[in-house]
Structure formats: C-alpha cells, structure tokens
C-alpha cells in the first residue's frame, strides 16, 4: 500500500479525525467481507407452507 502520512500531534483535532477515518475504513472492510460471505452462501430454503386446517 501507499506510505501512511505522519501521525498528527496528540490531543489535536487532526488526531481525532485520523482515528475516525481509520475506524471508518476498518468498518467498511468488515462490512464488505460480510457482504461477500453472504453472497457466497446459498440462500436458505423457504419455510414450508402452513398446514391447512379443516
């Protein structure tokens, strides 16, 4: 991957934004992985029809 930018000074607004951006990227990776896993799984069979009462 590309070189990461230098970390901002501690306690700064830029540091908070950098942490949030990293957290968003990680969350997006996890969501994409979950979506790929769901796409690979075969769909569940439909539930059986209800029994007629009579």
State pLDDT tens for residues 1-54.
567 766 666 679 999 999 999 999 999 999 999 999 988 877 677 788 888 876
pTM reported for the whole predicted model: 0.52
Phi, psi of 2 (to 5 degrees): -75, 160
Question: Residue 8: what pLDDT?
Answer: 60
Q: What's the pLDDT at 2?
A: 61
Check if the beta carbon of residue 16 is closer than 8 Å to that of residue 22. no
Q: Which residues contact 15 (CB under 8 A, 6 or more apart)?
A: 7, 8, 9
pLDDT of residue 46: 79
CA nearest neighbour of 4 among 17, 14, 16, 18: 18
Q: Residue 3: helix, strand or coil by DSSP?
A: coil
pLDDT at 54: 61
């Amino acid at each position: 991957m590309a070189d990461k930018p230098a970390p901002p000074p501690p306690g700064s607004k830029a540091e908070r934004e950098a942490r949030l951006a990293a957290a968003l990227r990680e969350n997006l990776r996890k969501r994409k992985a979950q979506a790929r896993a769901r796409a690979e799984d075969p769909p569940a069979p439909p539930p059986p029809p209800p029994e007629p009462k009579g």
